[in-house]
Amino acid sequence: MALSNSQYDAIIREYGRQQLLNKHEQDKRVEEIYRLIPAVRELDDAISTTAVQYAKKMLGGDQDALNRMKEELADLREQKKILLQSRGYRADYMEMQYRCPDCRDTGYVNGKKCHCFRQAQMRLLYAQSNIEEVVKRENFQTFSLEYYDDEQVIPAIGKTARAHIRQVEEACRRFVEEFGEKKGSLLLTGNTGVGKTFLANCIAKELIDRYFSVIYLSASDLFDIFSKTKFEYQAEEEMKDMYGFILDCDLLIIDDLGTELNNSFTSSQLFYCLNERLNRKKGTVISTNLSLNALRDNYTERVTSRIMSYYQILPVYGDDIRLKKRRGSRQ
């Protein structure tokens, strides 16, 4: 499973908080009962002293002490139960109550992650990815070749946009299949509206379903986080966590690179981020309207050369699908 260390710690901290809360709630219930039914406190005291007395007898060699103790304690507990119920309380009202009784809010059962842990993990992976809702609509099942022209041959590639997109889709599916120990990276280039973001979302959906951690950010949001983490010393704890996730998640999607305001700061931050992710063997998908030459002009040679050497580059051709859809819906 693909949680970063900080995410794992966050879940474990949550279990710790829950356990403290459980104890606190139990203390309150016990206090309430002692106040309202003093006889219960007397029974509890009797239970403690009985246990201590018998422990001494057992240590003194009394063979039968254990059995007699069990009997006496069972009797005292029964009295307590009856007393509680007679006053309208559940028999286990003073016991610890758990949010997940299966693992008693520890997250683990017999050394294995409890179902509640897996659920917390999934919630975290989905929430951080920001795309939970989008990938319900945009995924390989809903990806349609119909929007791509199948008549005109595009001279640069010697085939139609549809024939080409079929290969691009195939490459994206392969990217997902091979995403494991070693994670690849992709650059999707092409004009506005040709489906680059849609393809990135298809990939995201598949990887999220396989419990990989995925973060989707537009380039401007990404740089916004970089500058807030860098320049605001009192940056929210959450922002710092986010920065950690950006470097550490299994797949980072940077959408629409080139639309943000860029300067030497964004260039150096982008280089740091891409390079760090390559070093950590994490996957990155970038979509951009820019050509490779324009990328070089905007983000320096070293950013572009990292991408050229380590990314699979997939140009996407076609008409603006958003315009087509709008026209289609008007008819």
Q: Among 116, 131, 194, 215, which residue interacts with Zn ion (rule: CB under 5 A)?
A: 116
Which CB, 10 or 73, lies closer to Zn ion? 10
- In the complex, minimum distance from the CB of residue 104 to Zn ion, in angstroms, rounded to a whole number: 8
**Contacting range for Zn ion; rule: CB under 5 A; set: 108-116, 128-136, 167-175, 309-317:** 108-116
CA distance readout (Å), 36 to 45, 80, 92: 16, 14, 16
d(CA 331, CA 319): 18
**Contacting range for Zn ion; rule: CB under 5 A; set: 94-102, 219-227, 250-258, 266-274:** 94-102
**Contacting range for Zn ion; rule: CB under 5 A; set: 96-104, 155-163, 227-235, 306-314:** 96-104
Q: Which of 274, 252, 197 is nearest to 4 (CA)?
A: 252
- In the complex, minimum distance from the CB of residue 107 to Zn ion, in angstroms, rounded to a whole number: 6
Q: Is residue 103 near Zn ion by the rule CB under 5 A?
A: yes
Structure tokens belonging to residue 250:
């299994």
Longest dimension (CA), the chain: 98
Q: Among 11, 43, 100, 200, which residue interacts with Zn ion (rule: CB under 5 A)?
A: 100
- In the complex, minimum distance from the CB of residue 115 to Zn ion, in angstroms, rounded to a whole number: 6
Q: Which of 255, 179, 186, 174 is nearest to 213 (CA)?
A: 179
d(CA 177, CA 206): 9
Which CB, 13 or 68, lies closer to Zn ion? 13
- In the complex, minimum distance from the CB of residue 5 to Zn ion, in angstroms, rounded to a whole number: 21
Strand bridging mode 186-189 / 283-288: parallel
Q: Is residue 314 near Zn ion by the rule CB under 5 A?
A: no
Which three-class secondary structure state does DSSP give residue 20?
A: helix
Q: Is residue 114 near Zn ion by the rule CB under 5 A?
A: yes
DSSP state of 260: S
Which residues in this chain contact Zn ion in the complex, by CB under 5 A?
100, 102-103, 114, 116
